[in-house]
A and B are shown apart, each in its own frame.
Chain A
Amino acid sequence: MILDNLHSLKFFLPELTLTVGILAVILCDIALKGLRNRLNPLLTVFTLVLAAYYTLQLNNVASASLFHGMLAIDGFAQFFKLLLLLAAVLVVLASLHSAELASVHQGEFFALLLAVTLGMVLLANSTNLAMLYLSLELVSLTSYIMVGYLKTDRLSNEASLKYILFGAVSTGSMLYGLSLIYGMTGSLNLYTIRDAFLSQGVEGVNQFTILLVLVLTMAGFGFKTAAVPFHFWCPDVYAGAPTPVTAFLSVAPKAAGFAVLVRFFFSGMSQTSGSQWAMIGGINWPLVLIGISVLTMTLGNVAALTQNNLKRMLAYSSIAHAGYILMGSVVLTGDGIKSILVYLFVYLFMNLGAFLVVTIIYNSDKTFEIDDYNGMFKRSPFVAVAMAIFMLSLIGIPPFSGFMGKLYVFGSVIDKGLYWFAAIGALNAAVAAFYYMRVLKAMLIEDGSGATAPLQVSFLNQALLVALLLPNVLLIVFWNPIDRWTAASVQLFGGV
Chain B
Amino acid sequence: MSVFDVLFCIVALVTVGSAAIVVLSRSLIYSAFALLFTFFGVAIVYVFLGADFLAATQVLIYVGGILILLLFGVMLTHRLYNLNLKTETFQLIPGMLIAMAVFTSLALAATQTRWKLVPEKSLEPTTEAIGKLFMGEYLLPFEMASILLLVALIGAAMLVRRRSDA
Contact = CB atoms under 8 A, between A and B. Distances in A.
Contact of A184 (B106, B116, B158): B116
Interface stretch (B37-45, B91-99, B140-148): B140-148
A350 interface: no
A24 interface: no
B137 interface: yes
Given A183-B116, A209-B109, A67 B139 contact: yes
Contact of B140 (A67, A151, A196): A67
Given A184-B113, A206-B114, A138 B139 contact: no
A145 interface: yes
Contact of B154 (A111, A151, A212): A111
B159 A151 contact: yes
Interface in A257-298: none
Nearest to A37: B166
B165 interface: yes
Given A131-B141, A134-B145, A137-B148, A108 B112 contact: no
Nearest to A139: B148
Contact of A71 (B118, B137, B140): B140
Interface string A177-218: 000100111100000000010000000111011001000000
B81 to A, nearest CB: 24
A258 B166 CA distance: 37
A118 B147 contact: yes
Nearest to A160: B159
A148 B152 CA distance: 13
B140 A70 contact: yes
A108 B113 contact: no
A19 interface: yes
B151 interface: yes
Contacts of A141: 148, 151-152, 155
A404 interface: no
Contact of A26 (B108, B139, B154): B154
Interface residues of B, number: 30
Q: Do most interface residues of chain B lie in helix, strand or loop, or is the interface mixed?
A: helix
Contact of B109 (A119, A144, A212): A212
A118 B143 CA distance: 12
The residue in B115, B138, B166 that gathers the most chain A C-beta atoms within 10 A of its C-beta is B115
B151 A138 contact: yes
A130 interface: yes
Nearest to B109: A209
Interface string B86-110: 0000000000000000000110110
Nearest to A186: B116
A5 interface: yes
Contact of A205 (B108, B114, B118, B137): B114
A112 B116 contact: no
B159 A148 contact: yes
B158 A145 contact: yes
Interface string B122-166: 000000000000001111110011011011101110110000011
A279 B147 CA distance: 35
A138 B144 contact: yes
A1 to B, nearest CB: 16
A206 B139 contact: no
A184 B116 CA distance: 5
A490 interface: no
Nearest to A71: B140
A236 B106 CA distance: 31
Given A141-B151, A186-B116, A134 B144 contact: yes
Contacts of A208: 105, 108-109, 112
Interface string A83-117: 00000000000000000000001001001100100
A183 B117 CA distance: 9
A63 interface: no
A112 B115 CA distance: 41
A22 interface: yes
A68 to B, nearest CB: 4
Given A5-B139, A144-B155, A212-B109, 7 more contacts: A19-B147, A105-B165, A137-B148, A183-B116, A184-B115, A205-B115, A206-B113
Interface of A: 5, 19, 22, 26, 66-71, 105, 108, 111-112, 115, 118-119, 122, 128, 130-131, 134-135, 137-138, 141-142, 144-145, 148, 151, 180, 183-186, 196, 204-206, 208-209, 212
